Amino acid sequence: MFSDISSDIFAFSFDGLSSPVIDLKFRTGPQKGDHTLGWGLAWYPADNKAAMVAKDPAAKDTTSLKGAMSDWEGFRSTVFFCKVRGAASGYTHLETQPFTRSFAGQDWVFMHNGNLDKEAIKKLHHNTSIFLEPLGRTDSELALVFLLGKIQDYGARTLAEIDHNILLSWFLQLDDLGSADMSISDGVTVAVFYGTNSQASLYYSRLKPPHDTAGFQSDAASFSLNNPRDTFRTAFVFASSPFKSGDWTPMQGGQLIIARRGAMVWTNKKDPLPKLPLPPTQRPESTAAGSPILQGGPLEKITERSALFASVQAQSQQASIVAKLSQMSHVQQNVINAKSITHAADGTALTYRLYDLVHSTEYTYEEAVEHSTHTFRLLPVEDQVQEVIHSTLTISSEGEDVRFEDVFGNQNIHYSIIKPYRQLTVSCRSLVKIFGQAPDDYASTRRQAKLPMSWMPWQLQVMEPYLLLLEMPETQISELLLYARSFAERNGQHLIDTLNDINLTIYRDYQYVPGSTSFSTTPFDVYASRKGVCQDFANLFITLARLLGVPARYRMGYIYTGANYENKIQSDASHAWAEVYIPYIGWRGFDPTNGCQVAQDHIRVACGRNYRDATPTSGTIYRGGGKEGLRVQVTMNEVFL
């Protein structure tokens, strides 16, 4: 009833993103059945929900495969499906496997090795949805839409949501209609079924590092993990033709195996058949006994003369390397200091802006102050994008100063005054240059785009101070948590979209009302009242980010309002905003008072967990003083040369 088959199928589930070098082969010798042509390859680039498929229905070899796959940076995934000799004469791309179908918000990939009764499948397929109609004319695609119809009727959106035995029962229904070796994936989970009427074999193995540098070879395919990023990858592999290295176990008739991220998570057969006998693994020949690398005796002590020789030699080698690089035509040179980058990738000019900043604070007292100490954090940050050309601090009373950098990287001056005074004026003037930056590129998979964020243990330890919340009643924290989650859910857990949404919502929904809050005002108070000033909005943003597991800190600085901001009051004193840490990007500023990301209008000064760590001026009066008067004046003007 069913013809013989010559097709080979391979399915890979890696524990992490991998870029295997895969070469499908056409077996030599006589072939069985109608399916003797073509090849197909499917994967999920960067683990996205959309699958990519490359196929050639008429190929008699893999020349077209090698041409199609050369230099594809997108060939990196955790799931790969491959089929060779999966097409018959007259087949088009519609009939060539693997098949893909968009369903429940992601692409599904499917392969079938065998033959099924098409009329019988049509009778089983009761789901009449127009979205589940086959595009081609094969029994294999009918099997795919049958399974997707069952998944839709079940109410699931992924394979992980389906009871394993229920999924098995659907495969067994197809198994009654012919040979049903099938593989299906939603991009995360891989389910492989080996039918009881199968005319070919199917094997599985879990390949763990270290891997043989020669790769894995079989009669129908070969693959290797030569990419340095894949050195420690583990793969759970299904193959109709087992590779010559590794422990391969034949699947049993009627067996379903579910794999996810490089490991088997479920199977209905607990006692597998004996493993295939394989030749002993070849080990690389040992290094020759005379190798100086292995013999290596104690190193001679380097004398002063030899050290000088080594220094001269190093300089010579460096000059030689530079000379060789200058002669090479394919060397990529990158400007890595931001101040020297004049254009963004899209050609936009990156220019700097220059500001003349004066911050003056005047204290007056009813009685003379006889002894006081002060801390000043007024020196702007100096880094890749902000340069302090000149800065001076003027204090109206003599004292002793101690300068230091605190644990947050802020430049501090501790000032002690022992001579009586009734008025104290502190003025800092700085000339600051802010360089333009190109927009952050989030295309790299290392730069996390989704919530929740993942951290190395030591990263989490360093970021712990920026993840702790201000002490508040549990009920208030719970309410703020629901509020924070609403942003993430609204934006599909997308990190930057969520942060931008929080930033704009505070700007739009909260009123800037000077004097409406105090230093004791909590983020929940601001949330409840929907009003405050810049430090209140920054604290609320920080709290919401931390509740979502995003490290956030408080930043004090200044803003140039110019003609672009309706709220001019904020430029009369120091300004405050929030900064979040994004892995492989760094700290990025969000200004909820203005609903914008921090750019060239902002001058950064001090940062910390909260306002107390970054206040521009603070002090303690030990004797005298009485009633205090305070006046703060900030002027910030753009300088055009």
- The token pair that represents 308 in the structure block: 């000088």
pLDDT value of residue 278: 44
CA distance 506 to 503: 6
Q: Where are the domains of the chain?
A: 8-267, 353-436+624-639, 457-598
pLDDT value of residue 474: 95
CA nearest 582: which of 545, 607, 554, 530? 545
Task: Calculate the alpha carbon distances from 635 to 10, 360, 364, 570 in Å.
Answer: 69, 9, 21, 11
Which residues, including other chains, have CB under 8 Å from residue 535's CB and lie 6 or more apart?
554, 576, 611
| DSSP 3-state of 168 | helix
Residue 568 phi/psi, 5-degree rounding, is: -90, -15
CA distance 11 to 193: 12
Helix 534-547 to helix 474-490 angle (10° resolution) is 80
DSSP 571: G
Residue 79 phi/psi, 5-degree rounding, is: -130, 130
- The token pair that represents 350 in the structure block: 């990156």
Helix 495-509 to helix 474-490 angle (10° resolution) is 120
Residues, the chain, total? 641
Fold of the domain spanning 457-598: C8orf32 fold (3.10.620)
pLDDT value of residue 464: 96
pLDDT value of residue 65: 59
- The token pair that represents 408 in the structure block: 């947050």
Q: Which CATH architecture has domain 8-267?
A: 4-Layer Sandwich (3.60)
- The token pair that represents 413 in the structure block: 């001056």
Secondary structure element (H or E) that encloses residue 233, with its range: none
pLDDT value of residue 64: 52
| DSSP 3-state of 47 | helix
pLDDT along the chain (641 residues), means of 10: 64 89 67 61 91 82 56 76 70 86 94 91 80 85 94 93 95 94 95 93 88 82 82 86 89 94 87 46 38 38 50 64 67 77 82 95 95 97 96 96 96 96 97 92 78 90 96 93 88 92 92 92 93 96 98 97 64 88 94 95 97 94 91 94 80
Contact (CB, 8 A) for 350 and 341? yes
CA distance 229 to 70: 18
Secondary structure element (H or E) that encloses residue 636, with its range: strand 628-639
Fold of the domain spanning 353-436+624-639: Immunoglobulin-like (2.60.40)
pLDDT value of residue 285: 40
CA distance 306 to 301: 9
Neighbours of 132 (CB within 10 A): 18
Is residue 466 classed exposed, middle or buried when 0-12, 13-18 and 19+ CB atoms within 10 A define those classes? buried
Neighbours of 31 (CB within 10 A): 16
Written as one string, the DSSP assignment of 425-462 is EEEEEEEEEE---PPP---STTS--BSSP---HHHHHH
Task: Calculate the alpha carbon distances from 524 to 271, 419, 535, 587, 589 in Å.
Answer: 58, 43, 13, 25, 22
Query: What one-letter code names the amino acid at 24?
Result: L
Residues β-bridged to residue 427: 360, 394
